[in-house]
Amino acid sequence: MTKKHMRGMAAVIVAAATAATLAGCATGGTTSSSSTSAAGGTYTFWDPYPQFDATSAWAKRIDSCGTEAGVTIERTGYDTTDLTNKALLAGQQGSSPDLLLVDNPVVSTLADAGILNTTKDLGLDTSAFEANILAAGQINGDTFGVPIGANTLALYYNKSVLSAAGVDIASVKDWSSLTDALTKVAAAGKKGITFSAIGTEEGSFQFLPWFWGSGAKLTELNSTAGVDALTLWTDWVKNGLAPNSVLNNTQTTTWQEFLTGEYAFGENGTWQLQSVKDSGIDYGILTIPAKTGGPAPAPTGGEFLTIPVQSDTARYGTSVKIANCLTSTAALVDTDNTLSYVAPTKEAQAAQVAKTPDLQPWVDAVASAKGRTSDNLGTKYPLISEQLWGAVQQSLSGSQTPQAAADQAQSAAATATK
Amino acid sequence: MATTETLSRRSAGNAGGEASTPPPAPTRRKRRRPSTGQLAAWGFLAPLIVYLLVFYAYPLYRNIELSLHDYTVRSFVQGGAAFVGFDNYVSVFTDPTFGPALLHTALFTVISIIFQFSIGMGLAVFFHQHFKLSATLRALFLVPWLLPLIVSASTWAWMLNSESGIVNSVIEGLGGQQVNWLTSPQWALTSVIIANIWIGIPFNLVILYSGLQNIPNDLYEAAALDGANGWQKFWRITFPLLRPVSAITILLGLIYTLKVFDIIWIMTRGGPADSSTTLATWSYQMAFGTALPDFSPAAAVGNVLIIIALIFGFLYIAAQRRQEKNS
């Protein structure tokens, strides 16, 4: 053979090898997951916590639960929004992870796609969990996972700003007393309240306590109560009691605004508790008031542990063992302290409060909270929510009156959920 | 690839004034069983073909397929999505968001390109003077290009923040009123266009600058002897000789700008209330913006964008053919 021919042959071989590798990639995923039998082997676990690396307490907890069940767990952390798409694609390819931890409003979407097993089919006991938290994972009477913790929203307040403006926090009981307090703060040269009204799910999440607190229902966005809630926020922005930047605030940027110490109130979640302690702000926590007083139902946040459908059903036994291990009281207390969440069971909540008394207002807030996909809305919720944050944006930016924005949102939502 | 090759050949032909002759037709060998040489040729070609099929043809096919079926999350996973023909396109075209999104896309693209190109051209001519520090300054102008988009877009968002942004504090310092750059429907689109112009200038600068270097200096010397001033030199020599380079710069700019998504998404999420939504952000919003992905109409919007880009590509090729015929 001449040198030239040898080179030619080599090229053919390289090309063939490339094709073979590509083919290998395509089948690799399925062979590795189906060849391992029920006992021993590797179990996959996806969660939305890319911030925790292999040395974190969370990763170690998962490892030890794997060891307890006699398997190795391979954990991957994805960004929250990315995880939904990854889970759908994996479902399509038949390569779902054995355990999947997802944000609670996504559960109904994945369940609708037929990716998730019901807890009943799996024999996973859900009786210990608080009904209002578990409800976010229930559709048509079926439960598609268990919560590992819950968070919700409340108002953080800055005591020094309030006292400088002469506001007694005990006087803040309902919407009108809150608006009065904000007006006093603004008159004293400080800023009233900051929240997130961005055009994404975060915006709806933050608006819901006011929407529900007014007595409105997601099935009727343009009810008088719904328009009242929209008007409350719109007037705050219009009268300078809330900054215009709320329209573009994520929950992180609104928190940064509150941490400047200029704001009297900031609407934010359980997960900021550590941050506010570190900031040195003299803070307090107030449950978001309903229109006429009393606590408003805030939406529950937090993740659900689900067990996706596998071709090899023998794997479920071990997956359930791992799930039980991760939701044991000791594990929940540990995990929820790490995440700064409220535990989803009474027993674990009591243990948390015993250790961190600050958590009591949050435990109360979670008790009156409500899942976004509850009331059997399921996959209708994302469609309604999109219109709800749209209405908030329309109204707060002044493009439309609260009434017109709510009417438009309701008719669009009605068409979308038909 | 092909366009840049013809372009450099053309500009060389223009500048040098030499007639291009078509290459001689290859003499065809008699057909017989494939030689090892031919096999090797296929071997070399195979990885490329596989690559093109897997990474270009298939995604494109899949996007068209998605847009012609009614995919729900269930049918996306389980299969069996109903074929609906052009229903998704009809629903996209009749959606109240379509009109504004198309208008915003057009405004965003056209205004961005006008400013990017004219500022880039001005800077290219400026730096062509070769003064001291021109290389350093030119390098500094490339910074927007080198920064990751997430960094530049977030920085713009901070600068334009209503309450604490530096732009507003300057305006208020000069006695003006707070402008809600990102949060008022009147300003949101303008703000993202400004940011996009800033990001696009280096690209125009670099390409036009390299085009300038292909213009022989004797032309300017001859013009100077004839008594042409700077303005005349620009309009009579620089601008006409830069035409082919300008055309490709604008075409590439057009295609880049049509599909700009990250800057808008990071700065305004297409809001407030759709006031800065373009076709690209709308498509993303439908597919990934909610907990319930709506892939089919999103793919339809994506395909509309591809078709718009294609139309401009064809217009460019047609214009180039006409130019070649005339010269």
Residue B215 lies in a domain: yes
Pairs from A331-336 (Cβ < 8 Å, separation ≥ 24): A331/A61, A331/A65, A332/A148, A332/A149, A334/A57, A334/A61, A335/A58, A335/A61, A335/A148, A335/A149, A336/A148, A336/A149
Overall number of domains in chain B: 1
Token pair for A173: 């009981």
User: Rounded distance, CA B219 to CA B225, Å?
Assistant: 10
Closest residue by Cα to residue A344 from A153, A142, A127: A127
pLDDT at position A6 = 46
Mean pLDDT of A121-147: 89
Range of the domain at B311: 80-326
Minimal Cβ distance to A198: which of B40, B50, B269: B269
Secondary structure of residue A400 in the 3-state scheme: coil
Task: State the sign of the Cα–Cα–Cα–Cα dihedral A197, A201, A206, A208.
Answer: positive
- Closest chain A CA to residue B183: A247
Residue range A36-46, pLDDT digits in tens: 444 568 999 99
> Which H or E run contains A153?
strand A153-158
Q: Angle, to 10 degrees, between the axis of helix A346-355 and the axis of helix A360-367?
A: 160
State the pTM of this model. 0.81
What pLDDT does A40 receive?
67
Q: Note whether B43 contacts A11, CB cutoff 8 Å.
A: yes
Chain segment A294-337, per-residue pLDDT in tens: 889 999 988 999 999 998 888 999 999 999 999 988 889 988 88
| Chain A CB within 8 Å of residue B288 CB | yes
Higher pLDDT, A224 or A24: A224
Residue A393 forms contact with B (CB below 8 Å)? yes
The answer to whether B107 touches B191, Cβ cutoff 8 Å, is no
pLDDT, mean of residues A55-81: 89
| CATH topology assigned to domain A9-151+300-367 | D-Maltodextrin-Binding Protein; domain 2 (3.40.190)
Any idea what the Cα angle at residue B215 is, between residues B213 and B221, rounded to 5°?
115
CB–CB contact A105 B291 (8 Å):
yes
Is-contact B232 B222, C-beta < 8 A? no
Query: B273, A397: Cβ pair inside 8 Å?
Result: yes
The predicted-structure confidence for A212-222, as pLDDT tens digits, reads as follows 999 999 999 99
CATH number of A153-298+377-416: 3.40.190.10
Assess A12–B contact: CB distance below 8 Å, yes or no: yes
A29 pLDDT higher than 50: no
A113's tokens: 């796609």
Q: Mark yes or no for CB contact A199/B43 under 8 Å.
A: no
Residue whose C-alpha is closest to residue B116's, from B182, B224, B204, B7: B204
CB contact under 8 A, A245 and B157: no
| Assigned domain for B160 exists | yes
Q: How far is B116 from chain A (nearest CA, A)?
A: 27
- Please provide the average confidence, as pLDDT, over all residues in chain B: 84
Q: Give mean pLDDT, residues A64-85.
A: 89
B102-134 burial string, b = 16+ CB within 10 Å, else e? bebbeebbebbbebbbebbbebbbebbeeeeee
Sequence letter at residue A188: A
Confidence category of residue B34, pLDDT binned at 50, 70, 90: low
What percentage of chain A carries pLDDT values higher than 70? 90
Query: Do the Cβ atoms of B163 and A257 come within 8 Å?
Result: yes
What residues contact B13, with CB distance under 8 A and at least 6 apart? Answer: B19, B20, B327
Chain A: nearest CA to B181, how far in angstroms? 10
pLDDT of residue A8: 47
What totals of helices (H) and strands (E) does chain B contain, helices first?
18, 2
Q: What is the pLDDT of residues B171-211, one digit of tens each?
A: 988 988 888 888 888 899 999 999 999 999 999 999 999 99
Q: Is B167 in the A-facing interface, judged by CB distances under 8 Å?
A: no
Place of tokens 């690799």: A28
CATH code, B308:
1.10.3720.10
Average of per-residue pLDDT across B70-87: 83
* Residue B268 sits at the chain A interface (C-beta within 8 Å): yes
Q: What number is the average pLDDT over the span B12-22? A: 43
| Spans of all domains in chain A | 9-151+300-367, 153-298+377-416
Residue from A380, A244, A394 nearest B96 by CA: A394
CA distance linking residue A380 with residue A287, whole number of Å: 28
Q: What is the pLDDT of residue A360?
A: 85
State the pLDDT confidence band at A13, using cuts at 50, 70 and 90: very low
| More confident site: B131 or A3 | B131
Handedness of CA B174, B177, B182, B187 (dihedral sign): negative
A8 in contact with B at a CB cutoff of 8 Å? yes
Does A12 sit within 8 Å of B43, measured CB to CB? Answer: yes
Asked if the structure places residue B28 within a domain, the reply is no
Question: Is a pLDDT exceeding 70 seen at residue B8?
Answer: no
Question: Model confidence at B13, in pLDDT bands (50, 70, 90)?
Answer: very low
B74 close to A (CB below 8 A):
yes
Q: Count CB neighbours of B242 within 10 A.
A: 22
- In this complex, the residue of A4, A113, A396 whose CB is nearest that of residue B74 is A113
Residue B35's closest chain A neighbor by CA?
A5
B232: which residues sit within 8 A by CB, 6+ positions away?
B223
| A88–B73 CB contact, under 8 Å | yes
Instruction: Indicate the residue of B157, B184, B290 with minimum beta-carbon distance to A386.
Output: B290
Residue A268 has pLDDT above 50, yes or no: yes
Pairwise CB contact (< 8 Å): A394 & B73: no
- Put simply, whether B218 touches A (Cβ < 8 Å) is no
pLDDT, tens digit (0-9, with 9 covering 90-100), for B100-109:
999 999 999 9
Two tokens at A151? Answer: 């968070």
